[in-house]
Amino acid sequence: MAGRPIIEIENLSHTYMKGTPMEHVALKGANLFVEEGECVAIIGHTGSGKSTLIQHFNGLMRPESGKVLIDGEDLSNKKVNLKTLRQKVGLVFQNPEDQIFEKIIGDDIAYGPFKLGLPLKEVRERVKWAMSVVGLDFEGMIDRQTFALSGGQKRKVALAGILALKPKILVLDEPTAGLDPRSRNELLDNIKRLNKEEKLTVIFVSHNMEEVALLADRVYVMADGTDVLNGTPKEIFTDKEKLQRYHIGTPESVQVLYRLTDLGYEVKTDAFSITEAANEIIKVLACKKECSKHVQRI
């Protein structure tokens, strides 16, 4: 896939609380390249600088040193139009339900579009579209009170609030953290659909390897403020030596397959989607039956 580069980050560094005793280097020489239409996952331990990195995408943070190019635009340039940039790059923070402040769902989703100065009719269209994308019933939910929603519904509202800006690039910080399994799956489906059907470029931070294996075209691994590894999920999850070196977890499916190889069975360890892994296990089971029959006959 040789798409157009849409995010190019080179040698980026950032220090928090600069000039105080609490000074803390969060990024040192990080790199990241994303092509238009890709779905990229960023993984890494807590404190490795993932959130700091993604806050550079929409100009919440300016490059202290290094280069940040978003859709060809250099963010070191002070004259960058931040409003347009933030419309283009929709950033969904961790626990985005905290940011809901209007009483009515519709008003909260409409906040961004109104801030863009769009006419009422257009705003309404966008709210309707955003709600349908995240799976909220427009007629039934638009006038509902925001405080009485469940956690999963609140997160949908928050996501819709960003989608209503019609971004080209969607960035999500640990989007499924703290969600119940059902809301989680719905959210993942939505993200997948936005990437595949609406052609949004998606970048998400995650600690859940199943999620990463399921959604991502490519994975970046962060450690100590830099990118230490990147590749397709297949490349990352089959590199046993690096998995251990950087303490990267693997999807449960891969763990099962690794265990089976350790026990001496011949399975492919790069089959980490649930169905592929299941097929491998069935093969082992089938062989076992065959083999044991064989043993009995002898």
Partner 1 sequence: MSSEFEISKRITIGQYVPTGSFIHRLDPRVKVFAFTILVLAIALNTSYIGNTIGLVLSLYLFWVSKIPIRYGLSGIIPAIPFIVILAVLQLLFQGQLFSHGKVYVDYGFILITSESIRLVVVSAVRFVEIIFLSSVLTLATSTTELTHSIQSLLSPLKKIKFPVHEISLITTIAIRFVPTFAIEMEKMMKAQASRGADFGTGGWWRIIQRTKETFPIIIPLFNIALSRAEDLILAMESRCYTPGGERSSYTTYQIAAKDYLALVTGLLFAILLFAYPFPI
Residues in contact with partner 1 by the rule CB under 8 A: 16-22, 55, 58, 60-64, 76, 83, 86-87, 90-93, 96, 98-101, 111-112, 115-116, 161-162, 165
**DSSP structure string for 145-162:** BSTTS-HHHHHHHHHHHH
How many residues sit in the footprint of ligand ADP (CB under 6 A)? Answer: 12
- The binder of 91, among partner 1, ligand ADP, Mg ion, none, by C-beta within 5 to 8 A per type, is partner 1
- The binder of 64, among partner 1, Mg ion, ligand ADP, none, by C-beta within 5 to 8 A per type, is partner 1
**DSSP structure string for 165-202:** T--SEEEEESTTTT--HHHHHHHHHHHHHHHHTS--EE
Closest by alpha carbon to 262, among 246, 240, 290? Answer: 240
- Minimum CB distance to partner 1, residue 60 (Å): 5
Which DSSP state fits 218?
E
Q: Exposed, middle or buried by CB within 10 Å (0-12, 13-18, 19+), for 173?
A: buried
- Minimum CB distance to Mg ion, residue 19 (Å): 24
The footprint of ligand ADP on residues 9-38 (CB under 6 A) is 16-17, 24, 26
> Could you say whether residue 51 binds Mg ion (CB under 5 A)?
yes
Nearest-angstrom CA–CA distance, 197 and 143 = 28
> Could you say whether residue 49 binds ligand ADP (CB under 6 A)?
yes
3-state secondary structure of 284: helix
**7 φ, ψ to 5°?**
-130, 125
Task: Name the residue nearer to partner 1 (CB basis): 112 or 251.
Answer: 112
Whole-angstrom CA distances from 152 to 5, 38, 104, 120 are 33, 26, 16, 28
Evaluate whether 58 touches 95 at the Cβ level (below 8 Å): no
> Could you say whether residue 51 binds ligand ADP (CB under 6 A)?
yes
> Could you say whether residue 48 binds ligand ADP (CB under 6 A)?
yes
- The binder of 203, among ligand ADP, Mg ion, partner 1, none, by C-beta within 5 to 8 A per type, is none
- The binder of 31, among Mg ion, partner 1, ligand ADP, none, by C-beta within 5 to 8 A per type, is none
Task: Name the residue nearer to Mg ion (CB basis): 90 or 113.
Answer: 90
Using N-to-C axis directions, what is the helix angle for 252-262 and 274-297, rounded to 10°? 30
- The binder of 146, among ligand ADP, Mg ion, partner 1, none, by C-beta within 5 to 8 A per type, is none
Interface with ligand ADP by CB under 6 A: which residues? 16-17, 24, 26, 44, 46-52
Binding site for Mg ion (CB under 5 A): 51
